[in-house]
Amino acid sequence: MTPPTPSLPLAILPEVAAALAAGHPVVALESTIITHGMPYPQNVEMARTVEADIRAHGAVPATIAVMGGLIRIGLSPQDLEALGQTPGARKLSRADLAACLVTGDTGATTVAATMICARLAGIEVFATGGIGGVHRGAETSFDISADLQELAQTPVTVIAAGAKTILDIPKTLEVLETLGVPVICYRQDDFPAFWARSCGLAAPLRMDQPAQIAAAHVMRGRLGLAGGQLVGNPIPEEAEIPLPAILPMIEQALSEAKDQAIAAKSVTPFLLARIFELTEGRSLKANIALVRNNARLAAEIAQEIAKLRQSASQP
């Protein structure tokens, strides 16, 4: 990995910088899930727990956000707490990142923006909950998350529990295929649907070993293929909310969003917050369990990539 250019507006936490310099495994984490995905204080608690999970599995966590005109790669406990309590934090995707750095606002990175920042810092693996995708009714609204395009152009492997059924999952998989993004399911054939372990559709690829996922990531680089990989890691069985239990709440949240003319960047946060209320917190518990599960797998993949990079650099 080449070290980041000094002129970049990056502030890398010393622990993360030391790990990157030594070629040790690092896992990036997004921050929109903290500011727009969960209520305070569970959001900060979740972020701390996930960081601890990554450490316990042999990697260094780097939560990413924009604060004070800098891309922060790794947040101190105080910064994490402050971010979790910033109600006006901006939601940053590819289109918003540069503007937020210039205005000095506090911004939370989505999957797309986190991938961009991770790459700038030299981090190759990123754990999250669910990715953005093609929204239901996209044929009229044109609402397709920038996360999908980012997966097609930025070389970071993203571990997620699939996509929420607030989205149109078949269309999301079609777009990923068109964009040439490898969608790899971990230890099962079906693409996971966030709260549920399966969406009823097979994913194009399946891998059962973190070392294989790591090797495929490195192979893509060797082939000069742009973009990353999406790994679908199903929610642990004991935390699963089966589709029939969650679907009525999703339908209700979607119809409220329509009635209230919620659009653009507000759609996903609105739906997440409503589903949390409608399930009386059950969705939040599941959400935390699946992010932790993804963090553990990401740490294993990051370790395998670090091993491959190390052996490649030996004479």
**Residues annotated as part of the active site:** 30, 164
Cβ proximity to Mn ion: between 53 and 143 the closer is: 143
One residue of 30, 79, 105, 143 binding Mn ion per CB under 5 A: 143
Task: Note whether 283 binds ligand PSU by CB under 6 A.
Answer: no
Q: Is 7 helix (H, G, I), strand (E, B) or coil?
A: coil
**164 is in the binding site of which of Mn ion, ligand PSU, none (Cβ under 5 to 8 A by kind)?**
ligand PSU
Spatial separation of the C-alpha atoms in residues 311 and 308, rounded to whole Å: 5
Cβ proximity to Mn ion: between 124 and 143 the closer is: 143
Residue numbers 17-36 binding ligand PSU by CB under 6 A = 30, 32-33
Spatial separation of the C-alpha atoms in residues 281 and 249, rounded to whole Å: 12
Cβ proximity to ligand PSU: between 149 and 212 the closer is: 149
Identity (one letter) of the amino acid at 104?
G
Spatial separation of the C-alpha atoms in residues 53 and 246, rounded to whole Å: 27
Residue numbers 284-313 binding ligand PSU by CB under 6 A = none
Which x/- pattern over 127-166 shows residues binding ligand PSU (rule: CB under 6 A)?
A: --xx-x------------xxx----------------x--
Task: Note whether 84 binds ligand PSU by CB under 6 A.
Answer: no
Structure tokens at 170: 């078949």
Q: What share of the chain is helix, strand, coil (3-state, %, to 5)?
A: 50, 15, 35
Q: Are 122 and 20 in contact (CB under 8 A)?
A: yes
| Nearest distance from C-beta of residue 168 to ligand PSU, angstroms | 12
Largest separation between any pair of C-alpha atoms in the chain: 64
Structure tokens at 83: 């971010």
Q: Which residues bind ligand PSU (CB under 6 A)?
A: 30, 32-33, 37, 93, 110-111, 129-130, 132, 145-147, 164, 194, 265, 268, 272
